[in-house]
Structure 1
Amino acid sequence: MTTKCGLCTANIFTDAELAYQAIQDRATLRNYPSIIEQAMETDANAYMHDLLDAFAIDCDFGHDEPKTLLWLVTTYKMASLNPNHADCLAARAISYIDREWLHQIQARPDTLLPMHVKRIANIVKTALKKLSDDAFPDELKAAHQIQDCYTHRLAFTPQRNPDTGWINIASACDVTGEIRDQSTLISPRLTKHHAIRLTNAINRCLGLRPLEASMIVTSAAWAREAGTA
């Protein structure tokens, strides 16, 4: 069994990814800060990818009142700023200048103003693209091929297979209500967090903001339920 990080798609069976999932499963609202610290020590790459995903989602949903973003930036350590995680992929995905600026925001949370949210969004967008290109090259290519076969816009979402417990990657179309398992082209994932990480990466690669992807998936589910009622 490889000892590489669980972020990489070729290494989804690692002890690190399974341990990371187990730590996240123990999390509650009360103990989350301490749990997330354990998660960072277990798999800094997965931790940073998930944290940057959370930044991106909050920039998309709550850009007018960045209270949650401020809480995320100042509450959770950035592994890329921690010397103990110098080999973290995120350390290479975020420029030195941006890392220093984020460090200043963490040290002085009162300096985070609404105008800074746009800069954070741009930093996160660039970092996530680099991380996704490194971690999921085959999956992103497959997602483009799937989208090319449809005249309507698709979003991707994880679905748990009740028979195997694995997480399948599915495409959703809000126009037709179709939710199609894409396991033949995009291999199922072993853990929920890895699957969410991947589908977020795919949707971004297809040009979908988190809110847009969420709306497509939700609308497809509603249409499918209405059609079977």
Structure 2
Amino acid sequence: MYGALSTLTRPILPQLRSRTILATSLHRAFVAFPSARMRVPYAPSEPQTEEARPVYERIAERRKPRPLIPLDLALLHNPAVADGWNSFIGAIRTKTSVPEGLRELAISRVAVLNKAVHEWDIHAALAVKAGISRDAMQLVFDLPVTKKGLVESNDTLGFAEDEYAVLSYTDQMTIGVEVEDAVAKKLKGFLSDKQIVELTTTIAAYNCVSRVLVALDVGENNGNDMKKVKDL
């Protein structure tokens, strides 16, 4: 059901060429997004110091073949923070064993709860690509919440049992932080202990992502409509 700078071997010319390519791609990413509404200006699209250059290169490596995104250029006000973020989110995205569909389902629900437009547009599409049905994604988008998370029900509201367990856990982590024992226990029927830790850190990580996106209006998406499920 579920699907998600080259090494420099000669001292001068290749190095200059690599730096030119990096600078060009970073500049293209920077100028593609207006900064009028972002609450701080984006960081420079090129490294300002030799110390910062490897950070830019590591982030560019993870993003390729895409250029840097607005979130990168917001975080690069502090290259050390951007570097740690890149390492952490990179591990969350590529070095966990939670089924891709469940992972993207959880991230999509975080986006809805936190009104993070860009996060929803990207990750809801990835959830569908990974095998989550459009009907399920419409529920993710539409379902209201209570102080305990998903609307209480005697059934799974049309979700598969593993999807419902993940969404209940996501809601409680995101809304009230505290997770009831019964909600946490449901995950054990579908995920290993390792995967439960991975899911928990994924939900926490994308709560962090959405809070930065929304608080600073990174990408100038606040107030825009989220993509409709039929258009994912």
Which structure: larger Rg? Answer: 2
- The TM-score normalised by the length of structure 2 is 0.25
